[in-house]
Structure 1
Amino acid sequence: MAADALKKKAAEMGVEIKVETNGSEGIKNKLTSEDIKRAQAVIVAADKKIEMNRFDGKPLLNRPVSDGIRKTEALITEAVSGNAPIFHGDNQDSSEESTSSTSLGQEIYKNLMNGVSHMLPFVIAGGILIAISFMVDQFIGVPVDSLGQLGSFNPQAAWFNQIGGAAFGFMLPVLAGFIAMSISDRPGLVAGFAAGALASSGGAGFLGALVGGFLAGYVIVFLRKIFANLPKSLDGIKTILFYPFFGLLITGFLMLLINVPMKIINDGLNNFLGSMDGTNAALLGILLGVMMAADLGGPINKAAYVFGTGTLAATVTTGGSVVMAAVMAAGMVPPLAIFVATRLFKNKFTQPEREAGLTNIIMGLSFVTEGAIPFAAADPFRAIPSFMLGSALTGGLVGAFGIKLLAPHGGIFVILLLSNPLLYLLFIVIGAIVSGVVLGLLKKPSH
């Protein structure tokens, strides 16, 4: 969406632009050395680490991806003004850009999202296959005295469960490994993967892997400083021996210590989530709903989503996660609310906005919350509160009725993996209608 916004605004301003994207499908439209050489300036709008050294010597603006969507004109104007600071590679920031525009919080968020973005395909694909194994067993039938083996009782179900379990098992090592890699480049992978595996085997769970990823990354940063004065002839052996060995050794011992308190926290959280019902679950659903709609794919939204996916591993054997169900339902509301508002209040929206409203029904049903971003960016003080109201309502209802979800993504396409599909859809519709009507009533007529 940032790429589309930048290309559209650049065309309006008469500025030639080429946009490289680096999303879940990998790098597309990659910038060549000739492209970079010709460029007057570079805009990096990203929430994860990308290859930066290639921009050495170019005027460069480094901003969150949300700025690429909401502040496109300001970004392009500043980039072509000649006032953008010069970027220097090799991790040496001689400009004030890195300190002024990339805060510690943004840096931590980028590192975290690098881990999360690599982890999610394992969680989504593996989680859905495990969920299918439960459906297969329920369809074929399992004796009452063997319900504890649901999902792996029949051979057909066990196949799905084994494949999904293999992918799911990579969740924590991949999370920690790519957080560490974001901090310390490839030398951090070994220590990071090991930290995630130790968190998994030690019962520290998602939180332990998250802490372990950051720990592994900074252990490698520390080792780089320790080995910085070694002869240049040893550069090769540093990468293949010193960093992996000492990084693994130090991180491993530290994780054995960290796992103790993290396991207590993880067990406490799982027990709390397992005991939730009625009012407590509704209140948590409301909070998660507000978070999902607060910034529509930004840090707050991602925090709620990552929290939801983190509850799946402990709830697979009990039929799924109420938290994950509330998160997905609440995230589907904003784009569906746009569809409702553009249908019921046509005079409040321009023709292009009404057309975009039609595409939002697909995005909403697919659980792509970001579909509502252009509308929120155009009118944040009316749109965001409207979205938050409907999402909170939906999340609270899902929590109050204890609806469980086995899949971490998919929207309407994983509807059969819910404990109560019809009630779930009803709650989403209620939230979308409330949000859409409130937005339509608050919005001024278009001119």
Structure 2
Amino acid sequence: MKITDLLSVKGIEINPEVSDKSGAIDKLVDLMEKAGNLNDREEYKKAILAREEICTTGIGDNIAIPHAKTEAVKKAGLAAMVLKDGVDYDSMDGQPSKLFFMIAAPEGGNNVHLDVLARLSAMLMDTDFRDRLIAAESVEEFLDIVDKKENEKLESKNTEEKVSENGYRVLAVTACPTGIAHTFMAAEALENKAAEMGISIKVETNGSGGAKNVLTKEEIENAECIIIAADKNVEMARFDGKKMIQTKVADGIHKTEELLKKATDGTASVYHHVGGGEASDTSTENESIGRQIYKHLMNGVSHMLPFVIGGGILIALAFLFDDYTIDPSNFGMNTPFAAFLKTVGGTAFGFMLPILAGYIAMSIADRPALAVGFVGGMLANNGGSGFLGALVAGFIAGYLVLGMKKVFDKLPQSLEGLKPVLLYPFFGILLIGAIITFVVNPPVAYINNAIFEFLNGLGSSSKMLLGALLGGMMAIDMGGPINKAAYVFGTASLASGQFEFMAAVMAGGMVPPLAIALCTTVFKKKFTKRERQSGVTNYIMGLSFITEGAIPFAAQDPLRVIPSCVAGSAVAGALSMFFGCGLRAPHGGVFVIPTITNPLGYMAAIVIGSVVGMFVLGLLKKNIEEE
């Protein structure tokens, strides 16, 4: 469907009498109604206003694109308006809006408004096109300009598709443990730099929603080199025999030009698949033992998180909706609804340790190790060695199966089919059972109890110090190994009933984006126009516990941004401990605050930490002069 299929002559007006944002919305809603797209004008307008409350649709550069999806829409449609003098539309860049497109989509539709919004946004980035629309003297001229530009866009897309059919010079895979931010930031950085350098590239993203833009067998065969920018293991067997560069996901963001040059100059090493996702001869860096262990651990953690997050939030809600006075000893299970939430949440939470161990083992030795790791993790859970025991079980299971592979390689070829269905599971589960039950569980359970008693025995000042340390660690590398170390400690503490440490970790992780967003709002002269626009999105990322929103600012000015964020995060972590806040779910940001012990104190800790970070950054940064 084309834009002009949704935009009729009745839905366009050139230079009507409009003096403010409210008037602009009223006029556009009128045009939408005249075009015959609405069932209920007032309900549609309410949906438009509700969308504006979330965030202004004045995207800047004199453009506004209000939109809504609601049952009040009869059929998908567009309305457009030009105001040559512009009006104040609360745009992100503070400039008046002159060009308006309003989008209406029916409830239950195929998200056509998002598709049209994406296509319009891409077209409107062309300054000449935008200026010609604003200068249009008639509705017919306006429609003609849109139609010609859209046809050019579609022809250009067809040309790009023909080019892609001939293959890509470089392929890439990006992946981070949580799959929320780094994965897609690295993909975007590689694609942008490749376009700038004239290199055809396709990037597969292994995000939280699964692999997207998956590389095909033909594309892999035709590519000159593969770039793997990942902090967790990805499917590697498909790249056997190809030149490859393996590196951290952060390098996919910050070292794109270096990676692409190496990928195209023929100096990358050939990858030979040997089992656990590791290469016998790889690329830019020979991974250290520590780096390999980190990747295996993060593979387990990334698969574990959905169970911990979903189960943890349900358990937290069970306490929120229960009545403590009925039976304090049975709190969380006193009412039927609370009992339901706690049972379902507890079931999901119970998968935490087996999943952790299973996917660590699979990262090391592929599928044959998965069942062995699951059993090891469950035995660790039942045997009292908890998170630490499951972690150890995962590594033991993985290397145990690698050892069995070497031993079983000496068996006759006729027994090859029995290995995955009989030999690996039988001997693997038997051996891991004996090792975990008699060797791992006794000492690790003792260590677990000692740690639990030590943490329970910490005084208020000691807990605040630990909270400051955990909060500060979340801001040092914002998604890197130090951040992940603090996060893993927080999730591990949940298994032992220490909920205050997870609260400190999340508070520390929320502060960096919030501190930067506040600073771009309060100290505007210290940031460029583009930085101020990016700062707005950091409010959302910070409130959603996506620390990585601060990375672009930290990368541009690390000596000022990182210390400021660390200071604010440390304050937030310490105050969270001081206020006795506890969090049963390892994610969720502001959306799970109602389930937190002492939610008001927790919000105060985050606000104070963010303000501290803002002021430190404001003091360290100098004013800039924009041309």
TM interval, short-chain normalised = over 0.9
Aligned residue number for residue 322 of structure 2: 137
Aligned with 1:262 (options 444, 452, 455)? 444
Gaps of 5+ in 2: 1-184
Aligned partner of 2:295 in structure 1 is 110
Aligned to 1:290: 472
Q: Deviations over 1:278-312 (max 9, x none)?
A: 10110100110121011101111111111111111
Distance 1:16 1:3 in 2: 13
In structure 2, C-alpha distance between the alignment counterparts of 1:72 and 1:168, rounded to whole Å: 39
Secondary structure of the equivalent of 1:97?
Answer: coil
Deviation at 1:96, TM superposition (A): 5.2
Counterpart of 1:216 in structure 2 is 397
**3-state SS, counterpart of residue 42 of structure 1:** strand
Q: Distance in 1 between matches of 2:311 and 2:297?
A: 21
In the alignment, which residue of structure 1 is the partner of 2:91?
none
1:58-100 CA-to-partner distances (Å, cap 9, x unmatched) read 22110011111222222222222221112223448453538x4
**Alignment counterpart, residue 126 of structure 1, candidates 311, 333, 341:** 311
Q: Contact 2:579–2:602 (CA<8 Å) still a contact in 1?
A: no
For residue 348 of structure 1, report the CA deviation from its aligned partner: 2.5
1:184 equivalent in structure 2? 365
The letter for the 2-side match of 1:49 is N
Alpha-carbon deviation of 1:377?
A: 1.5
Partner of 1:155: 336
What does residue 237 of structure 1 align with? 418
2:208 match: 24
C-alpha deviation, 1:4, in angstroms = 1.9
Paired position in structure 2 for 1:13? 197
Q: Which residue of 2 aligns with 1:406?
A: 584
1:369 paired to 2:547: yes
Q: 2:536 aligns with which of 358, 382, 400?
A: 358
Gaps of 5+ in 1: none
Give secondary structure in 1 for the equivalent of 2:423. helix
2:247 matches 1:63: yes
Distance 2:222 2:525 in 1: 45
Match of 1:271 in 2: 453
Structure-2 separation of matches of 1:124 and 1:95:
38
Aligned CA RMSD, in angstroms, stands at 1.6
How far apart are the structure 2 equivalents of 1:390 and 1:93?
Answer: 41
Matched, 1:390 2:568: yes
The answer to whether the 8 Å contact 2:271/2:282 transfers is no
Q: Report the counterpart of residue 436 of structure 1 in structure 2.
A: 614
Shift, 1:202, TM fit: 0.5
Q: TM-score, normalised by structure 1?
A: 0.94
Q: d(CA) in 1 for partners of 2:534 and 2:561?
A: 15
Match of 1:95 in 2: 281
3-state SS of paired residue (2:211) = strand
The whole-number CA distance in structure 1 between the counterparts of 2:331 and 2:511 is 32
* Equivalent in the alignment of 1:420: 598
Q: 1: CA distance between counterparts of 2:398 and 2:281?
A: 24
Task: Give the paired residue count.
Answer: 438
Specify the code of the residue in structure 1 equivalent to 2:485. Answer: A
Letter in 1 for 2:244: L
- TM superposition score normalised by structure 2: 0.68
- Does the 8 Å CA contact 1:292/1:330 hold for their aligned counterparts? yes
In 2, the alpha carbon distance for the partners of 1:439 and 1:101 equals: 37
1:108-166 CA distance string (max 9 Å, x none):
0110011000000000000111111111113xx532xx211011121111111111111
Give the equivalent residue in structure 1 for 2:428: 247
Q: Who is 2:349 aligned against?
A: 168
CA distance in 1, matches of 2:612, 2:257: 33
Change over 3 Å in CA distance of 1:385–1:209 after alignment to 2:
same
Task: State the shift of 1:273 in Å.
Answer: 2.3
Q: Which string of whole-angstrom CA distances, capped at 9 and with x for unpartnered residues, describes residues 414-443 of structure 1?
A: 011111112211211111122122223323
Return the letter of the residue paired with 1:17. Answer: I
Contact 2:270 2:282 in 1 (8 A): no
Larger Rg: 2
* Cα drift, residue 53 of structure 1: 2.0
- C-alpha spacing 1:20/1:255, structure 2 compared with 1 (3 Å): same
Shifted more, 333-342 versus 397-406: the winner is 397-406
Provide the C-alpha distance between the structure 2 equivalents of 1:194 and 1:276, rounded to a whole number of angstroms: 34
SS in 1 for 2:270: coil
